[in-house]
Amino acid sequence: MNNLTKKVSELSKRRGFFFQSSEAYGGVAGFQTFGPEGAELKRNIEESWRNTFSRELGHREIQAPTIMPEPVFKASGHLDGFDDMIIECPECKSSIRADHLVEDNTEIEEAEGFSTEKIAEIIADHDLECSNCETSLTGIEVEDFNLMFETSIGPGNGQPGYLRPETAQGIFVEFPRLKEYARNQLPFGITQIGKAYRNEISPRKGLVRVREFTQAELEHFIDPDEDEPNLDKVQDVELKLYPVDKQGSGEYITKTVEEAVEEDIVHNWVAYYLGIAKKWYKEIGVDMDRFRFRQHQKGERAHYATDCWDAEAEIDGDWIEIAGFAYRGCYDLTKHHEHSREDFTIFKEYDEPVTKEKTVVQPDMGYLGPEYGGKAQKVAKKIGELAQNSPEEFEKEAVNVEVDGEKLEIPTDKCNFEVKEVTESGEHIIPHVVEPSFGVGRTVYTVLAHAYEEDEIDGEERRVLHLSREVSPTEVAVFPLMDKDGLGDKAQEIAAKLREKGFSVKYDDTGNIGKRYRRQDEVGTPVCVTVDYETLEDSPETVTVRDRDSTEQERVEISKLVDYLR
């Protein structure tokens, strides 16, 4: 564990930001509890995200279940392709994530996109060893490991289900109903903040790689032929970009959002959200000198993405992904449209009616029913798809379709195929999806690490979190200089009034005033208010207000304190 990582982890445990769960029973890797300070910081970051990516952009938020039935993930591709690479030590039997082993022990920065065979070659070439017992892993097979947590829905054997590995599928699977709430008009966006689960091979670095985590995701449904982002609000935002062709060199390119789109470096919708995200990250306290957008390499991209960029933050020399921005195309909705019984299209009305030739089939269900039983409807659907995609097949005496892996031959005269002229007022399209996806826990960790500083005040060492006022767990702390002579009562009165005005307030009367300041500095409280003897003597009454970052103090009238703090 590097120096800053160690210091942030120690402070987080001591001051109640985050710590390993279930330590009374030995703990379980990959699960973290947010303490009182961390839970509030996390909530504030979530609320800030909600304001920026949902409310201000006019999107709507939902909450879907965290457990979903197996067919959802069969359709989405997660059961077949949601894997990481694993290698097992032959000596101590430790399971190790193979691409991380390569990244940690070679100069290769991004090994995730490599094949299992390539990773095995690199391990052999460098004679890499088990990180636990130092046994050589040369010649040991590297395998794919599916990250899904499986469960059973209902008693007995029940129905197979899975804990969702991302919140996105909870949005996609409900699209037929959500489009109605959007009055079947594109574009529209749906957001969700919630838990996701991945059975990570080697959880590590506190909040960075865990098995239960919170995501904040936006699925923006668009018509790719007509809908374009309004770049006006972000066109001048400068982006530090690390495209594929620069990776390995360590060289970045800096472009405005407008330039990145015009030069075809970033997809226009992705660039739009990169601009919004850059402004938001800066607002919540991410250090822009330790921040970049890195493009996914071809082999690294998720199965659904045609292009993807990660927001990454540097901590202790390591770059960690804190968000992903993917152009998912129509992959997800198409898959659910094909696998479910619902309609995942939207009707797009033409400006004027259009007359054109159209292939039409009306399969003879009186033949299909007795012949194929419960599969008859699926056969009819496949015949319809074939007519749209390959109408020339119906010139033969029979057509071939595949249903549930079985190849079937259907007499053409039972399909009632014809081509006729029709006048249409529109067409059904499957929308494309733009997805900004944020890891909330990793954002919390980044904000803490980038806010952490050690300095010296009046000859005394100080640890301080320079947290943004927008996300700091406590906005103001109120102290009596001493809890006697009415100072405590006056301080309690001020604290109560500030809470009534909507401030997050902490009251502290234990220890000397210097120690109380240090405690608040460590948890990032921006302002401390102290009631002292001058308060009781002044007319009008005043208090001492101390700034966390500069440590400067000034006298403020109590009657003007609310406006001053705001």
pLDDT tens digits for 208-253?
999 999 999 999 999 999 999 999 999 999 999 999 999 988 899 9
Domain end residue (candidates: 142, 162, 182): 142
**Residue 244: predicted pLDDT:** 92
Paired with 136 in beta bridges are 129
In this prediction, residues 177-190 reach a mean pLDDT of 97
Q: What's residue 515's pLDDT?
A: 93
90 vs 125, 129, 147, 202, 326, CA distance in Å?
18, 11, 22, 17, 38
Closest CA to 83 of 296, 304, 303: 303
| d(C-alpha 427, C-alpha 35), whole Å | 53
Residues 74 and 163 in one domain: yes
Q: Is the pLDDT of residue 340 over 80?
A: yes
C-beta separation of 446 from 496 below 8 A: no
Tokens (6 digits) for 33: 């509890």
pLDDT reading at 436 higher than 60: yes
* 19-46 pLDDT tens trace: 999 999 999 999 999 999 999 999 999 9
Cβ atoms 203, 29 nearer than 8 A: yes
Domain end marker among 110, 142, 174: 142
What mean pLDDT value characterizes the chain? 93
Are residue 129 and residue 207 in the same domain, yes or no? Answer: no
176 and 325 housed in the same domain: yes
Of 230, 164, 190, nearest to 435 by C-alpha is: 190
| 174 and 208 in a common domain | yes
Range of 420's domain?
Answer: 350-429
pLDDT on residue 458: 80
Query: What is the reported pLDDT for 202?
Result: 84
In percent, the amount of the chain with pLDDT more than 70 equals: 99
At residue 59, φ and ψ (nearest 5 deg) are -90, 170
Determine the pLDDT at residue 354: 87
Inside any domain, residue 137: yes
Average pLDDT over residues 14-22: 96
Is 268 inside a domain boundary?
yes
Q: Within this chain, do residues 77 and 105 fall inside the same structural domain, yes or no?
A: no
pLDDT for 559 equals 95
Sequence-separated (6 or more) residues with CB below 8 Å from residue 184:
346, 347
Q: Which residue has the higher pLDDT, 195 or 97?
A: 195
- Pull the structure tokens for residue 211: 């098995």
Domain membership flag for residue 537: yes
CATH of the domain at 13: 3.30.930.10
pLDDT of residue 302: 67
Tell me how far apart the alpha carbons of residues 197 and 150 are, in angstroms, rounded to a whole number. 10
pLDDT exceeds 90 at position 168: yes
Quick check: 304 pLDDT over 70? no
For 102, the token pair is: 């390569």
C-alpha distances (whole Å) from 354 to each of 347, 349, 351, 424, 428 are 15, 10, 9, 5, 14
**How confident is the model over 432-437, as a mean pLDDT?**
97
Cβ-Cβ contacts under 8 Å for 248 (sequence gap 6 or more): 109
Taking alpha carbons only, the member of 109, 525, 446 closest to residue 277 is 446
Q: How many domains does the chain have?
A: 4
At residue 374, the pLDDT reads 86
The answer to whether position 463 is within a domain reads no
The answer on pLDDT for 8 being more than 60 is yes
Q: What is the per-residue pLDDT for 538?
A: 87
Residue 463 β-bridge partners: 454
Give the rounded distance of the alpha carbon of 440 from its chain centre.
7
In a domain, 407, yes or no: yes
Query: Are the CB atoms for 355 and 429 separated by under 8 Å?
Result: no
CB contact at 8 A, 291 and 283: no
Say whether 22 sits in a helix, a strand or coil: coil
Predicted confidence at residue 180, as pLDDT, reads: 96
Render pLDDT for 407-431 as a digit per residue (tens, 0 to 9).
Answer: 999 999 999 999 888 888 899 999 9
Q: Are 207 and 293 found together in one domain?
A: yes
Residue 462, in any domain of the structure: no
User: In whole angstroms, what separates CA 245 from the centre of its chain?
Assistant: 25
CA contacts within 13 A on the Cβ side of 32: 30
CATH code (residue 537): 3.40.50.800
Same domain, 218 and 108: no
Give the tens place of pLDDT for each residue, 361-405.
999 999 999 999 888 999 999 999 999 889 999 999 999 999 988
Better pLDDT: 443 or 458: 443
How does pLDDT run across 466-491, given as a tens digit for each residue? 999 999 999 999 999 998 899 999 99
Judge whether residue 281 has pLDDT over 60. yes
Residue 56 CA to residue 378 CA, distance in Å, equals 43
Residue 301 has pLDDT above 90, yes or no: no
| Same domain as 188, residue 231 | yes
Torsion, Cα 123 126 131 136, to 10 degrees, reads 80
pLDDT band at residue 190 using 50, 70 and 90 as cut-offs: very high
| Contact (CB, 8 A) for 531 and 491 | yes
Residue 398: beta bridge partners? Answer: 411
Would the pLDDT of 1 be above 60? Answer: no
Burial class (CB in 10 A: 0-12, 13-18, 19+), 199: middle
Among 441, 461, 491, residue at a domain's last position: 441
Is 458 inside any structural domain?
Answer: no
Cβ atoms of 200 and 206 closer than 8 Å:
no
Q: Are residues 152 and 57 in the same domain?
A: yes
- Note whether 57 and 109 are same-domain residues: no
Encoded amino acid at 273, one letter = Y
303 confidence band (pLDDT: 50, 70, 90)? low
DSSP string, 213-281: EEEEEEEEEE-TTT----GGGTTT-EEEEE-GGGTTTT--EEEEHHHHHHTTSS-HHHHHHHHHHHHHH
Q: Are residues 240 and 384 in the same domain?
A: no
Domain identity same for 285 and 358: no
**Spatial distance between the Cα atoms of 156 and 330, rounded to a whole number of angstroms:** 37
- In this predicted model, what pLDDT tens digit does every residue of 110-155 receive, in sequence order? 888 788 999 999 999 999 999 889 899 999 999 999 899 999 999 8
Q: Does residue 457 fall inside a structural domain? A: no
